[in-house]
Structure 1
Amino acid sequence: EAPIPPPTIPSIILENLPTFNSAFRFEERLRLLETSFSEYRQINPFADAVSAIPDIIH
């Protein structure tokens, strides 16, 4: 018996599906995190040392 192919999904439905980015507001949350960390670095010198670690490792 031949396998039954899956049904095709109309492209209009696919176009209206939310992307990962929009579904979880990733860009907005990342921007907020960057802003918060930037403000934190201004009041905490230890944060500068932590943020320099990736540059030291590479």
Structure 2
Amino acid sequence: MAIVVGGPIAPSPTNMGIGMVLAVAPEKAAQVLAQLNAEQEQAYRIGSVKPRQENAIELVG
């Protein structure tokens, strides 16, 4: 599960405006979101991480 923390940031060539992203186990997502929002941090679920089935990227070197 991907969670973004913080409000929108103005896009630039090196900044896509998402802010900080946390990768959190799906079963912990609600707890993490609740804690961040309780601390006055804007936090939202933005997606999930899944294994790639085809054309996986291979790092060489």
Which category of TM-score, normalised to the shorter sequence, fits these structures? under 0.3
Higher RCO, Cα 8 Å, sep 6+? 2
Report which of the two has the higher share of helix.
1
TM-score with structure 2 setting the length = 0.23
Computing the radius of gyration from Cα coordinates, the structure with the larger value is 1
TM-score with structure 1 setting the length = 0.23
